[in-house]
Structure 1
């Protein structure tokens, strides 16, 4: 603009030259001004196993060599019930020759256009760069996901497309179109002004899932569990939204209508706390998102788990979503949705992945039990990936103090469910992992009946501003028939505001025993 101009273009989300100039400017600014971003090289990096070469007139799939380096871009998109073109064992050789433009859905076409306009050559798209009907290739590439996204020059995020047919450049609501006003005089100098209706996010908002970027029907991408790690692993992301474009990197956030937005304080690198707590917060956010196939629970998080272990020392082994060094502290999760007895096995009962919606509502738990041994066997080569689909593949042995508990019939959908543990006062607050209430559930407790459980003293959750008084936390366990093994069926909490839950010394004078939980 000439001197005296005080307006600037309000960039929409379209394929106009101005939009690509804006993206180029963001990339250049990040590369020259953002020290923490510059520290991560994304220009001369080992290339993924396969890439789309979009540099010529034709688009083709290439297989890279082990030591080959270069620069590439990733696409983050929703499948959304629509199956886009895929690379299969039967068509991979044809894809190496050429992939016809008309065979690509609009989101893929738009991604190719973006890469070409930015002046780059290589693009990584999951459905085309992973052999989709090869279990071994899929597992091998899932194990490389941390490197694939973290090494990308930037990631294209089709924010508002619910599937690959809708594209990166959506049809706009005309009320958000930018308009150039005729030059006006400002302090004696000509000035240009660009105006459009406000999108509704005030300046300074965080670049988070619930504010600027948003979630829900208009921004379906951020509701997907797979995208959680894609977003958090990527060094730079350009979001193509319903009304405008957004930028997010390790240093800053921008949008098409504001000069700067504060970065999301919930991103892993922004959370300043102990590693175990940081992981809990990440799991909480991840488990609030949608996942089409339950078997992908661990694969969709494996890249982030791998990166997390690189950045946090002393975590030990990764065990069904937990870190060995922080067991048993991290077993104190609860669930919003009970585990269905008929559901396919995907994780041991002590893992948050065994239920559909786990959360860490409790604060720090000081353990009162100890880990004797633990075993988890993966289905493939990825130590962070899918588990062997047999319950005997994973077990945990804890040494601690066991107390009997009686869980009575309970039909109040809103009231607290208490468990009688023969304490000196009241009852413990019980949160079930299984559906003990529904009449159609095989685990249902009949009217007037009860269920006998054993409760292992997990530890003590200390009082905080939001939690008045210390709480004793127990794992509720049910013994398998004709076995000396147990499954976790819930969590029990006693608040010490009302006094000690057992006569003096009885809680800790109980002899410790070892139980195996599967």
Structure 2
């Protein structure tokens, strides 16, 4: 922690306002810890992040538990071992206070004042994560499963150990990586010690250090599963907290940085949060809103249930990562928002149109005409939204059937790749095996509705520009709703020239398809 304080990218608060309720830990292990009311006091505190299925929603706060008269002693024997271990660590590190969401968070702190929730995590000195198992009674202290060879050498004191121990999979394949609440805790905390199944891993905005390897590596020393990189996002959490006013209706100043960096940080957080599941679906947008509040400075426009108005094309250009996505069990967000479905999504390319000034790109660039988001709490634009929320998009459109049939006849020039959100029907059955009856049912359903499917251009580069940065055309696949002019999202589709080296003018055939500018009401 003292080394982290010297990092250029890291900031440590020495004394901050304590959360409303917090666990006071005595230096004497014989004195039981107790939950106290901070009453405006300042200090330093540690946070514990662990998964407890019976208390993992916004409603599972202290208000849902018996109302104790504070201060209230904690009988550690009644709580999961992860809590007992965290109290022990807090005491050994010389801290007086420990904060645990399941014991200390009031519903009002979470829902009525989102900026307060951001401050609790962003101002913490350190967060401990129980990353070995979803079973909280295993605790933080456990036998590490370190893979190594048999003892080698004359004195049998040498071992071979795989370099894989430096990979971020220690964290990204942990049980906490698939719990939405725990993901947002990781995103907002400035520095973390992960207690994983094999080793301790230190994570801060300057990178990661691994207990099992005496090599300091920046985050990303191995393949990242969920796309999250703390050094991209943490600067915005810090700048929001250092702002003179971090109010939900005001925009904290975040200093000088590239607009692309802010958008990249947001998409990384989306990729990570999409891996997280929620026992209570209504918690999803509330949790995502904490990330949005930290990143918001007004430069990205209005926040629209998971996307930003000034980057609507990038916000809509999401897709599933692996298995088909599933619709939420209850209404969470409009279908164009990644928050409307459960399962990992990816937003890999945050570029806007490469040749934005060319006539061709102007012809196809989508424009957000208006947005109509109905909030469950009108004072909280970072919270839940109600059915009927929609946006109006002006975009170049064409029927799915015509687009795919014409370009399929010109396979030497184009590659057309449809990707449905909730089906694998367009993917190779050898690479992505699935039962024949599933493939048949999906195909029959899609073919029944194909005449109602429209493709709307989201992103397109000027294909006449000869540069290595030119990318494919990305289209939304939309389904027209019965009885009105609304459209729901089905998936996305990419169109790319088969080869830039062949003497073909891809824009000629593409332009001749009969694209039509239309205003679409997306719900």
Normalized per residue, which structure has more helix? 2
The counterpart of 2:368, out of the listed 361, 367, 371, is 371
Q: Which consecutive residues of structure 2, in runs of 5 or more, have no partner in the other structure?
A: 221-227, 234-257, 354-363, 426-436, 499-503
Q: Determine whether 1:228 maps to 2:183.
A: yes
1:92-491 equivalences under 5 Å are: 92-94=67-69, 96-131=71-106, 134=107, 136-140=108-112, 144-172=116-144, 200-201=162-163, 205=166, 209-210=168-169, 213-216=170-173, 219-265=174-220, 267-270=229-232, 274-309=261-296, 314-335=299-320, 336-340=322-326, 343-356=329-342, 357-360=344-347, 364-366=351-353, 368-380=365-377, 383=380, 385-388=382-385, 390-392=386-388, 394-406=389-401, 419-420=404-405, 425=410, 428-435=416-423, 445-446=444-445, 449=448, 451-452=450-451, 453-461=453-461, 470-491=471-492
Which SS does the other structure have where 2:112 is aligned?
A: helix
Q: Secondary structure at the match of 2:482?
A: coil
Residue 43 (structure 2) pairs with residue 74 (structure 1): no
The alignment of Structure 1 onto Structure 2 pairs a total of residues equal to 448
1:50–1:130 contact (8 Å) kept in structure 2: yes
Question: Is 2:110–2:116's contact at 8 Å kept on the other side of the alignment?
Answer: no
Deviations 1:348-399 (CA, angstroms, capped at 9, x unpaired): 11112222232235573527110111132333478464423x420x211111
CA distance in 2, matches of 1:268, 1:298: 21
Decide whether aligned partners of structure 1 residues 77 and 197 sit closer, same or farther in structure 2, where only a CA change above 3 A counts. farther
Question: How many angstroms does 1:137 deviate by?
Answer: 4.9
CA distance in 1, matches of 2:56, 2:400: 49
When the two structures are superposed, what TM-score results if normalisation uses the length of structure 1? 0.73
Q: Is 2:507 aligned against 1:515?
A: no
- Alignment partners' CA distance in 2, 1:370 and 1:385: 23
Q: Which moved more, 1:243-252 or 1:151-160?
A: 243-252
Change (3 A) 1:482 1:341: farther
Specify the alignment match of 1:500 in structure 2: 506
163-172 or 138-147: bigger deviation: 138-147
Q: Which segment drifts farther, 450-459 or 374-383?
A: 374-383
Distance in 2, matches of 1:442 and 1:433, equals 15
Structure 2 Cα separation of the partners of residues 242 and 325 of structure 1: 42
Report Cα offsets for 1:332-354 as digits up to 9, x if no partner: 22224445568422111111222
Asked whether the equivalents of residues 52 and 62 of structure 1 are also in contact (C-alpha less than 8 Å), the reply is: yes
Deviation of residue 161 (structure 1)? 3.6
Q: Which moved more, 1:80-89 or 1:424-433?
A: 80-89
Determine if contact 1:175/1:196 at 8 Å carries over to the other structure.
no
Distance in 2 (alpha carbons) for counterparts of 1:243 and 1:494: 44
